[in-house]
Structure 1
Amino acid sequence: MTSTPTPVGVLIKRVDPDVPLPEYAHPGDAGADLRTTESRVLEPGERAVLPTGVCIALPEGYAAFVHPRSGLAARCGVALVNAPGTVDAGYRGEIKVIVVNLDPRESVRFERFDRIAQLVVQQVEKVRFQEVAELPDSARAAGGFGSTGGHAAVGGTTGGNRYASVVSDREGQ
């Protein structure tokens, strides 16, 4: 038997009195839908800052993250420029979403109260940075930026760092 976790209380203020409050579309959803209060057309390649009409006060130890909506990305080519956007616990201003139209040919139209992003609230840890001369070893070490492969451009889907061998082969030509 699983229990439902107690929701975290988040204070919210409407900047636009008519905007619907963020809500979860389905039980179990991680993100609550954010809506825009402004109608706007984005031409191909254009970006805009869209207001959501809400401000929040998060409890200390929490942050909210503004994530893209997969449907907007798949159907319209809309992405968030700084995904995920971070809303810190001390921020009290209106949440705004920086959208970009990545479709090379079609414009995208947003109407007032269209869902434009989703807000995920998470508990975050504070850390104390401790400077050292050397870091301890790990299995991954400094490998990153595609070092595990998994894409045809870096040697197929079998994993491993094949990028280095592809570059080496080209240099020898």
Structure 2
Amino acid sequence: MRRFSKISPESWEKQVPGTSYGKIQLPKRATSKSAGYDLYSPIDVYIEPGEKVVVPTGIKVYMEDDEVLLVNSRSGHGFKHGIRLRNIQGWIDADYVDNPSNEGHILVSMVNNGEESFFLPEGKAIAQSMFIKYLVTEDDEPLQYEREGGIGSTS
């Protein structure tokens, strides 16, 4: 099973009060040969030079236990405008979905390293994501079995 879903309207209102749940878009591939799924912003985003913002997507993702969703900057944003992800690459683990702290809401943290203000209107792609299978060692023993929180909770 591999699919994107919206977080619940209740979770959206709690995390992003006063914004429209109806503007959330599920990720899509731009072409039949695109490796990645574009993530869209359901709100207008303004980023001044040097400024950092966290953009809600309203999306969560279900995937197999041996998969990860990698989230990357859109090449045009970085190349043309100096916009990149603050953590360079986001990793969404399979057990992040439905966690108790934020329902698995995928958030995109961005920074403007350019010299000009950047505006991204609602409905435009803010990042790209790709599913990857991964391997573990034969003697793998995770430090904890069940995820208990959201972003940064396993560190």
Regarding TM over 0.5, the answer is yes
Q: How does 1:1-173 map to 2 (within 5 A)?
A: 9-15=1-7, 16-92=21-97, 93-104=104-115, 106-127=116-137, 128=139
Which consecutive residues of structure 2, in runs of 5 or more, have no partner in the other structure?
8-20, 98-103, 141-155
Q: Flag the structure with larger Rg.
A: 1
Deviation at 1:71, TM superposition (A): 0.8
Amino acid at match of 2:114: D
Secondary structure in 1 matching 2:65 = coil
CA shift, 1:18, in A, is 3.3
TM-score by length of 1: 0.65
Comparing both chains, which one has the higher relative contact order based on Cα–Cα distances under 8 Å and sequence gaps of 6 or more? Answer: 2
- What is the DSSP-based 3-state SS (H/G/I as helix, E as strand, rest coil) of the residue aligned with 1:117? strand
Name the CA distance, whole Å, in 1 between partners of 2:132 and 2:22.
26
Structure 1 residue 76, shift from structure 2 partner: 1.4
Q: Match for 2:129: what amino acid? A: L
> Structure 1: any 5+ residue segments left out of the alignment?
1-8, 130-173
Tell me the TM-score normalized by structure 2: 0.72
| Number of aligned residues | 121
> Which consecutive segments of 4 or more residues in structure 1 shift more than 4 A?
none
